Every structure is written in C-alpha cells, then in structure tokens.
Amino acid sequence: MDTHLTDVIEECTRGSDEERLTFPSIITQLASAGIERYSADLCRWEKTYFLTSGESIVVPCKRIGGELATTFSAHGVESAVRASQSQSIKYNEFCRRALSAGCVGYIVSIVGRRVVYFGRSGEMHIEHFPTAKP
C-alpha cells in the first residue's frame, strides 16, 4: 500500500477522533484515495479500510468510552445519526450514543452511499447518505 494512501487513512481516522473532520469531508477524501468502504468496531476501537483491490488496512482509534447497552435500539441509533447530521453533537458523543443504543459497530459503504449500524446479535439499522441540497 502506498504511503499517500496510508497517510490519508490515518489522517481521516485522527481527524474523526479529534473532531476536526466531518463525515462528508472524510467520505470525500477516502473516495478520492480509492477506498470503497470501511468498518468501525466500537468495542475494539479500530477501523478497517478496504480498497477495491481487496487490500485492507486496520487503524486503531481513540477509545471514547461509554456503556454498551445489551439490546439494540434502531431508534436510538437513528436519533444519534440525526443529532450528528444536524451538528448538535460531534463524533465522540455520537459514538457514546451509538453504544448506549447497543451498536457495536458500523460499516460505511462509500460506493453504496449507506451506513449499516449493527448490534451484538446481528440487528441492524441502515442509513443512506443524505442527498446534497442545492
């Protein structure tokens, strides 16, 4: 994997953890670098980025903390997503709310323009990327 690609991936991870980069800007940077999808593990605190070639890179994330609920609440996840989209919360608070809704991780499909949030028993909630407003 080339150095530029690794730099983009690590910067997107750090920028998210440090709340310097927004989800739309991260998606733009990753898509430009050739990343088709990534997964975030909210229990191991790591992200795995996948290229179209099948290669992948795992990057550790900042441990945010929070309590993982034993049951999954699609409504709780959706509420956290809406709060993030309206910019009333940032990424760290989003992760805390997702955990409290029983979300153990999520997969972002850049090519599919959606995010699949999932719980420990395979429950899931799917969010499509918002469409751009003129």
Single-letter amino acid, residue 112: G
Predicted model pTM:
0.92
What are the residue ranges spanned by the domains of the chain?
Answer: 3-128
Mean pLDDT value of segment 19-37:
95
pLDDT number for residue 66: 83
Crossing angle (nearest 10°) for helices 91-100 and 3-17:
70
Task: Give the span between the Cα atoms of 45 and 22, in whole angstroms.
Answer: 19
Question: Is the pLDDT assigned to residue 19 strictly greater than 60?
Answer: yes
pLDDT tens track for 55-109? 999 999 999 888 899 999 999 999 999 999 999 999 999 999 999 999 999 999 9
Q: Which CATH number fits domain 3-128: 3.30.70.380, 2.40.30.10, 3.30.1810.10, 3.10.450.50?
A: 3.30.1810.10
What is the distance of C-alpha 57 from the center of its chain? 15
Distance CA 123, CA 128 (A): 17
pLDDT at 134 over 50: no
Q: What is the mean pLDDT of residues 124-128?
A: 96
